[in-house]
Amino acid sequence: MAIHNRAGQPAQQSDLINVAQLTAQYYVLKPEAGNAEHAVKFGTSGHRGSAGRHSFNEPHILAIAQAIAEERAKNGITGPCYVGKDTHALSEPAFISVLEVLAANGVDVIVQENNGFTPTPAVSNAILVHNKKGGPLADGIVITPSHNPPEDGGIKYNPPNGARRIPTLLKW
Protein backbone atom coordinates (compact mmCIF):
# COMPACT_ATOMS: atom_id res chain seq x y z
CA MET A 1 0.00 0.00 0.00
CA ALA A 2 1.39 3.40 -0.97
CA ILE A 3 1.80 6.12 1.63
CA HIS A 4 -0.34 9.18 0.94
CA ASN A 5 1.72 12.19 -0.19
CA ARG A 6 0.34 14.27 2.71
CA ALA A 7 0.89 11.65 5.43
CA GLY A 8 2.21 13.24 8.62
CA GLN A 9 1.30 16.78 7.55
CA PRO A 10 -1.25 19.05 9.25
CA ALA A 11 -4.77 19.11 7.85
CA GLN A 12 -5.44 21.76 5.25
CA GLN A 13 -8.42 24.12 5.40
CA SER A 14 -10.11 22.13 2.62
CA ASP A 15 -9.92 18.99 4.80
CA LEU A 16 -12.00 20.49 7.60
CA ILE A 17 -15.74 19.98 8.03
CA ASN A 18 -18.37 22.23 9.58
CA VAL A 19 -19.51 20.08 12.52
CA ALA A 20 -22.41 22.37 13.48
CA GLN A 21 -23.75 22.34 9.91
CA LEU A 22 -23.37 18.56 9.64
CA THR A 23 -25.19 18.04 12.94
CA ALA A 24 -28.01 20.34 11.83
CA GLN A 25 -28.29 18.40 8.55
CA TYR A 26 -28.64 15.18 10.56
CA TYR A 27 -31.81 16.53 12.18
CA VAL A 28 -33.21 18.75 9.40
CA LEU A 29 -32.60 16.96 6.09
CA LYS A 30 -34.95 14.09 5.33
CA PRO A 31 -34.36 11.20 2.92
CA GLU A 32 -36.65 11.09 -0.10
CA ALA A 33 -38.68 7.90 -0.38
CA GLY A 34 -37.80 6.06 -3.56
CA ASN A 35 -34.42 7.75 -3.96
CA ALA A 36 -31.86 4.93 -3.88
CA GLU A 37 -29.09 7.34 -2.87
CA HIS A 38 -31.03 8.16 0.32
CA ALA A 39 -31.94 4.57 1.26
CA VAL A 40 -30.58 2.56 4.16
CA LYS A 41 -27.97 0.16 2.82
CA PHE A 42 -27.20 -2.29 5.62
CA GLY A 43 -24.13 -4.10 4.31
CA THR A 44 -21.64 -6.47 5.89
CA SER A 45 -20.57 -3.85 8.41
CA GLY A 46 -23.74 -1.86 8.99
CA HIS A 47 -25.10 1.28 7.37
CA ARG A 48 -22.89 4.23 6.43
CA GLY A 49 -23.63 7.58 4.88
CA SER A 50 -23.56 11.33 5.40
CA ALA A 51 -26.22 13.76 6.57
CA GLY A 52 -25.41 16.19 3.77
CA ARG A 53 -26.04 13.46 1.19
CA HIS A 54 -29.37 12.48 2.86
CA SER A 55 -27.97 9.01 3.59
CA PHE A 56 -27.33 9.23 7.37
CA ASN A 57 -30.06 11.32 8.96
CA GLU A 58 -32.26 10.99 12.01
CA PRO A 59 -35.05 9.07 10.19
CA HIS A 60 -32.49 6.45 9.10
CA ILE A 61 -31.18 5.93 12.62
CA LEU A 62 -34.62 5.92 14.24
CA ALA A 63 -35.77 3.25 11.76
CA ILE A 64 -32.63 1.12 12.19
CA ALA A 65 -32.79 1.34 15.98
CA GLN A 66 -36.49 0.39 15.93
CA ALA A 67 -35.74 -2.55 13.64
CA ILE A 68 -33.04 -3.69 16.07
CA ALA A 69 -35.45 -3.37 19.02
CA GLU A 70 -38.02 -5.46 17.14
CA GLU A 71 -35.39 -8.04 16.15
CA ARG A 72 -34.33 -8.33 19.80
CA ALA A 73 -37.94 -8.93 20.88
CA LYS A 74 -38.56 -11.44 18.08
CA ASN A 75 -35.44 -13.41 19.05
CA GLY A 76 -35.96 -13.26 22.81
CA ILE A 77 -32.90 -11.07 23.44
CA THR A 78 -33.79 -9.57 26.81
CA GLY A 79 -30.37 -8.75 28.26
CA PRO A 80 -28.70 -5.38 27.96
CA CYS A 81 -27.78 -3.72 24.70
CA TYR A 82 -24.22 -2.36 24.80
CA VAL A 83 -24.09 0.89 22.82
CA GLY A 84 -20.77 2.43 21.79
CA LYS A 85 -19.78 5.41 19.67
CA ASP A 86 -16.67 6.90 18.15
CA THR A 87 -15.44 10.46 17.60
CA HIS A 88 -17.00 11.13 14.18
CA ALA A 89 -19.22 14.23 14.20
CA LEU A 90 -22.43 12.33 13.42
CA SER A 91 -21.85 9.71 16.11
CA GLU A 92 -23.16 11.85 18.97
CA PRO A 93 -26.54 12.75 17.41
CA ALA A 94 -26.99 9.16 16.20
CA PHE A 95 -26.10 7.92 19.70
CA ILE A 96 -28.86 10.10 21.18
CA SER A 97 -31.38 8.84 18.60
CA VAL A 98 -30.50 5.20 19.31
CA LEU A 99 -30.82 5.69 23.07
CA GLU A 100 -34.24 7.33 22.64
CA VAL A 101 -35.57 4.41 20.60
CA LEU A 102 -34.14 1.73 22.87
CA ALA A 103 -35.55 3.49 25.95
CA ALA A 104 -38.97 3.76 24.30
CA ASN A 105 -38.84 0.00 23.71
CA GLY A 106 -37.87 -0.76 27.32
CA VAL A 107 -34.40 -2.01 26.42
CA ASP A 108 -31.76 -1.90 29.16
CA VAL A 109 -28.72 -0.10 27.77
CA ILE A 110 -25.09 -0.03 28.89
CA VAL A 111 -22.84 2.77 27.61
CA GLN A 112 -19.26 3.85 28.24
CA GLU A 113 -18.78 5.61 31.57
CA ASN A 114 -18.73 9.44 31.43
CA ASN A 115 -20.18 9.48 27.90
CA GLY A 116 -16.84 8.22 26.59
CA PHE A 117 -15.90 6.77 23.24
CA THR A 118 -15.84 3.01 22.71
CA PRO A 119 -13.65 1.01 20.33
CA THR A 120 -15.74 -1.40 18.25
CA PRO A 121 -14.02 -4.54 19.63
CA ALA A 122 -14.86 -3.43 23.18
CA VAL A 123 -18.58 -3.75 22.44
CA SER A 124 -18.12 -7.24 20.99
CA ASN A 125 -16.04 -8.25 24.00
CA ALA A 126 -18.62 -6.89 26.46
CA ILE A 127 -21.36 -8.89 24.72
CA LEU A 128 -19.32 -12.10 24.83
CA VAL A 129 -18.29 -11.65 28.47
CA HIS A 130 -21.89 -10.97 29.48
CA ASN A 131 -23.32 -13.90 27.52
CA LYS A 132 -20.68 -16.32 28.81
CA LYS A 133 -22.17 -15.90 32.29
CA GLY A 134 -25.54 -17.26 31.19
CA GLY A 135 -28.88 -15.57 31.72
CA PRO A 136 -30.60 -13.12 29.39
CA LEU A 137 -28.62 -12.59 26.19
CA ALA A 138 -26.98 -9.24 25.43
CA ASP A 139 -26.26 -7.64 22.07
CA GLY A 140 -24.86 -4.30 20.96
CA ILE A 141 -24.83 -1.34 18.65
CA VAL A 142 -21.72 0.53 17.57
CA ILE A 143 -22.09 4.00 16.09
CA THR A 144 -19.13 4.48 13.77
CA PRO A 145 -18.40 4.70 10.06
CA SER A 146 -15.00 3.15 10.87
CA HIS A 147 -12.34 4.47 8.52
CA ASN A 148 -14.74 6.56 6.42
CA PRO A 149 -14.25 10.35 6.06
CA PRO A 150 -15.09 12.72 8.93
CA GLU A 151 -18.41 13.82 7.39
CA ASP A 152 -19.73 10.24 7.41
CA GLY A 153 -21.71 8.40 10.03
CA GLY A 154 -22.27 4.70 10.55
CA ILE A 155 -24.18 2.22 12.66
CA LYS A 156 -23.48 -1.48 13.20
CA TYR A 157 -25.49 -4.14 15.01
CA ASN A 158 -23.69 -6.86 16.97
CA PRO A 159 -25.96 -9.80 17.85
CA PRO A 160 -25.39 -12.04 20.90
CA ASN A 161 -22.50 -13.87 19.21
CA GLY A 162 -20.56 -10.57 19.09
CA ALA A 163 -20.36 -10.61 15.28
CA ARG A 164 -21.03 -7.58 13.11
CA ARG A 165 -24.44 -8.47 11.71
CA ILE A 166 -27.20 -10.98 11.34
CA PRO A 167 -28.70 -11.95 7.98
CA THR A 168 -32.28 -10.89 8.76
CA LEU A 169 -31.21 -7.28 9.36
CA LEU A 170 -29.80 -7.13 5.83
CA LYS A 171 -33.34 -7.54 4.46
CA TRP A 172 -34.60 -4.23 5.93
On whether residue 13 sits in a domain, the answer given is no
Span 148-155, average pLDDT: 93
pLDDT in tens, 92-134: 999 999 999 999 999 999 999 999 999 989 999 999 999 999 9
Rounded to 5 degrees, what are φ and ψ at 169? -70, -25
Measure the CA–CA gap between 30 and 38, rounded to whole angstroms: 9
On whether residue 58 sits in a domain, the answer given is yes
Alpha helices in 6-159 (DSSP H): 19-28, 58-74, 91-104, 120-132
On whether residue 65 sits in a domain, the answer given is yes
On whether residue 7 sits in a domain, the answer given is no
Structural domain that includes position 122: 18-29+38-166
| pLDDT recorded at residue 53 | 95
On whether residue 122 sits in a domain, the answer given is yes
Averaged pLDDT score across all residues of the chain: 92
CATH (domain of 106) = 3.40.120.10
Model confidence band, residue 4 (pLDDT cutoffs 50, 70, 90): confident
Mark whether 55 is an active-site residue.
no
- 163 pLDDT higher than 90: no
Prediction pTM value: 0.89
- 141 pLDDT higher than 60: yes
pLDDT in tens, 59-73: 999 999 999 999 999
- 135 pLDDT higher than 90: yes
| pLDDT recorded at residue 170 | 47
| Number of neighbours of residue 58 by Cβ within 10 angstroms | 20
On whether residue 6 sits in a domain, the answer given is no
Span 166-171, average pLDDT: 50
Number of structural domains found in the chain: 1
On whether residue 74 sits in a domain, the answer given is yes
Alpha-carbon dihedral sign for residues 123, 125, 128, 133: negative
| pLDDT recorded at residue 52 | 94
On whether residue 98 sits in a domain, the answer given is yes
| pLDDT recorded at residue 113 | 94
